[in-house]
Amino acid sequence: MPAEQVRLELRGGDRLSGHVLAEDDEVITLLTSFGAEVAVPHEEIIAAEWLDQAPSEPAHADPAQASRQGEPEEPIEVTGEMELGAALVASARDRRDYLSRLDLTFRRGGDHLRLRGLVDIQEANDVKLRDRQSAAISFQKELTAPWFTTLSGRWLRDPTTGLSHRTTAFAQVGRTIFDDDLHRLTAKAGPGFAEEHRKDGTDWITPLLAWGLEYEFYFSGFWERFSLSHEQEGSVDPRGSPLRLLLESDTALRYRITDDLYVALSGTVDLDSLSPDTARTLDRRLQLRLGYAW
């Protein structure tokens, strides 16, 4: 009988698949597609998916009893990342940048609830150049694979740029382009709404059209993964104002220190623009962050 094939999701986001050679109370041994035997401790496994295991019923099974027995409910799995870091800034005197991020995800099967928080402070010569805080929540519901839908909302403030607060909400439909042991790519798009209040008394309330991409490339060994996240929203004010463009992009390369600790080198772009020429915010930075994943 051929060995069963399983895909394992490990702590820190790694994935590993192969045929099961042996299993005991401490480790499971796999033969990977590369021909290597890998022993994985059970404590490092977050989730396991059997790829070629077909369900079977005993010949004497009672059909009425079988119909009353539904599929076992999948447990809720909690994964997350917490990062602390500093931006790398050139030609700045007495410049200090502080960054802290929290990304927490609750998963059940293909569905997940994601909570995110950000505190980003920049100071130079005791003058605060940036004082940004944000909180976001999103719920992703799996439809017929590979399609999914996402409901999300975000609150943002940065009084140093005159932004008292901005609230946005979106309903988007997405598709998983590919998702395997090597890499993953998803795309989503849909309508939304924004309400913004500024310190000068101007308000901005308008519908939005948003789209986004998320890509991750998984490494083996100490290099953990390369990730790219891009989100963009735009609108045309029905009263005749020009296009409003909001853009956020984050590209990161993570290096694993231990099973839970990693270092992330990332580049970010943040744009808030009234096209074609006026940009209220255009921020490009290189950051070094220390992260903890579970």
Contact 259, 12 (CB under 8 A): yes
Whether the predicted pLDDT of 90 surpasses 60 = no
Tens digit of each residue's pLDDT (9 = 90 or more) over 164-199:
999 999 999 999 999 888 899 999 999 999 999 988
All CATH 2.40.160.40 domain ranges in the chain, comma separated: 77-293
CATH of domain 77-293: 2.40.160.40
Instruction: Give percent above pLDDT 90 in the chain.
Output: 28
Which CATH code of 2.30.30.100, 3.40.50.300, 1.20.20.10, 3.40.640.10 fits the domain covering 5-54?
Answer: 2.30.30.100
Tell me where in the chain the CATH 2.30.30.100 domain(s) lie. 5-54
Confidence of residue 130 (pLDDT cuts 50, 70, 90): confident
Query: Which run of H or of E encompasses 65?
Result: helix 63-68
Per residue in 212-261, pLDDT (tens digit) is 999 999 887 778 889 999 999 988 665 556 578 889 999 999 998 887 88
**Cα–Cα distance measured from residue 137 to residue 104, given in angstroms and rounded to the nearest whole number:** 10
Mean pLDDT of 268-284: 77
pLDDT one-digit tens code per residue, 210-219: 999 999 998 8
Q: Is the pLDDT of residue 69 over 50?
A: no
Q: Which long-range contacts (CB under 8 A, 24 or more apart) does 175-181 make?
A: 175/146, 175/147, 175/148, 176/145, 176/146, 176/147, 176/148, 177/146, 179/146, 181/7, 181/15, 181/16, 181/17, 181/33, 181/218
- Averaged pLDDT for residues 76-97: 67
